[in-house]
Amino acid sequence: MTSQVIPLQTQEEENLNLDKSQSIISKNSKTRQQQQQSSVPALLNPTKLSKRGTVQLENDVEEEVNSILHISIILLAIQSGHFSYGYSQSYLSMSFTTLFSQITLQGSEIEEQGLFSAVLSIGQIIGALMTKPLLKYTTRNQSLLIADICGVLSILQVVPNREVILTFRFFYGICLGISTIIMPIYVKELSPQKYYEAFSVMAGFLVGGGLLFANFMGLGYLNNELRGNDSYYWQIVFAIPALLHFLRSFIVTFIYQMDSPVGLVQIKMLQSAKQIIQKIYQPKYIDQVLIKCQLRVQYNEEHQEGILSLFTKKHIKTLTIGCVLVFITPWCGLVALFSYSSQIFEIMSDGDVTLNAMFTLILGIVQFTPAFISKYVYGRWGKRPILLYGLISLIICQILIISLSYIDSFAATIVNFIIICLFSFIFALTLGPITWSMTPEINSSEGTYFCFVTLYAWQLLILYIFPFMLDGIKMSGSFIVFAILTTLSTIFFYLFVKETKGLNHNEIDKLYGKE
């Protein structure tokens, strides 16, 4: 669906400003100074905080890691769940025909397509809702391990039984729901600051790569034998996510025995936190990193707000913006295009299997491409113009798709497919990543969490009802609905979204009246 992932790093976690920090450091400062003097004499006054909000100590020096290779492997393994998330968006669509020929359906094929698609999002909602209470009692790695256990259990989707497939597709959804919330937190807390930007943008490559790989696997269905009633190929396609999650746990948990030092400090496991820091950083930086972890946890604990605070005057505006962003992300039509690409292209290609497979693969390549240029685009322009111009471009593409859907010719089909690719490219460059970056930028951690749980709910709705829309009002009617919703959202964002380029989170709070 997108080239980005869910980042729950908000102003409480990223922006520890100087004014607020004085109240933190003043508490038990004498005791803390004594501890610092005994362990690391150079760090006497941990009161200097950078403008960006990263914890900064006086006499602070940039920490160096023991091995760039090892930290790269660890962070890549943690984020491999993004690859799985991208893969999940289209692998089922390509397999519907073969799968449904081997199991007993309980309703019409359209109803079953909606159910099989939606059950994944139901699991994602449950997984996302589980994550917040789960983090109160487990470390980051333990939570990710629980997600991976659910992911490994999804191997049972290969059993050709309707109820078994639905059950373990739901487990796969729980895995993705937990994983997509945990990964950005885990990476933010574990990654050395100097490498964070490079590793955080890796998520976009992995999501696009997962989608592209799923579409590549779809080429196997060009073989008549592999899409026949006795085919085993769909079982290979369904088994890949379980292998990915097994490998992640094997690397992170069993080989490196890794965890987040911030998360460990949060649950009072200081010795374990120090052991993790020793694995990552050179010896002379261990005490400095540990102090930073302690300061971050103390700040987060003193400035956290409850979920009910979201509906006060202070937060309601930014919460509404976040909720509209996560609504239009699936309801502009991209989720439908990727999750039902095979069915849409079957209609467009008039049942041509080869053309269908090629359309699907090309769409995956197009979705992956923006990951290579998005960094340069965001460095040049602010979020507000990218969002608004992106939405206007999506509306133009939607109108063209609607118009071309009424023309029954091969040339019109090819042009329509080119417009769909352009639509996907613009989404992956603008609305998709903006949703994942702007929502946490303007909201508290609770607000971000609330917004992304509603995202899964909207995704569930579109996945369930789109087969009925495609059957009832056809592709043209479906995109009329998408175009109307996108236009209304564009008007809303024009009126209420403000430009935040170059501002830190305190300045963004003031901009939205959250002083």
Delineate the domains of the chain, giving CATH numbers in brackets: 11-65+260-301 (no CATH), 71-256 (1.20.1250.20), 305-515 (1.20.1250.20)
The answer on pLDDT for 301 being more than 80 is no
CA 160 to CA 234: how far, in whole Å?
Answer: 10
CA 46 to CA 53: how far, in whole Å?
Answer: 13
| Dihedral sign for Cα atoms in the order 444, 446, 450, 453 | positive
Answer with the residue of higher pLDDT: 319 or 20. 319
Average pLDDT, the chain: 84
Mean pLDDT of the region 470-475:
90
Secondary structure letter of residue 443 according to DSSP: S
Answer with the residue of higher pLDDT: 444 or 481. 481
Q: What is the pLDDT of residues 54-66, one digit of tens each?
A: 444 555 667 889 9
CA 42 to chain centre: 40
CA 402 to chain centre: 29
Question: According to the model, what pLDDT value does residue 59 have?
Answer: 57
Question: According to the model, what pLDDT value does residue 54 have?
Answer: 44
Asked if 420 contacts 365 with a C-beta cutoff of 8 angstroms, the reply is no
> Among 177-181, 183-187, 321-325, where is mean pLDDT lowest?
183-187
The answer on pLDDT for 22 being more than 80 is no
CA 229 to CA 250: how far, in whole Å?
Answer: 35
The answer on pLDDT for 52 being more than 60 is no
**Orientation angle between helical segments 162-190 and 445-472, nearest 10 degrees:** 150
Question: According to the model, what pLDDT value does residue 141 have?
Answer: 94
Q: Is 289 exposed, middle or buried (0-12, 13-18, 19+ CB in 10 A)?
A: buried
Angle at 73 between CA 195 and CA 281, to 5 degrees: 55
* Continuous segment of H or E residues that includes residue 117: helix 109-137
Mean pLDDT of the region 502-508:
76
Asked if 196 contacts 186 with a C-beta cutoff of 8 angstroms, the reply is no
Q: What is the pLDDT of residues 315-332, one digit of tens each?
A: 899 999 999 999 999 999
Question: According to the model, what pLDDT value does residue 505 have?
Answer: 66
- Cβ-count burial 129-158 (b if 16+ within 10 Å, e if not): bbbeebbeebbbbbbbbbbbebbbbbbbbb
End-to-end alpha-carbon separation of the chain, Å?
A: 35
> Among 25-29, 98-102, 255-259, 323-327, where is mean pLDDT lowest?
25-29
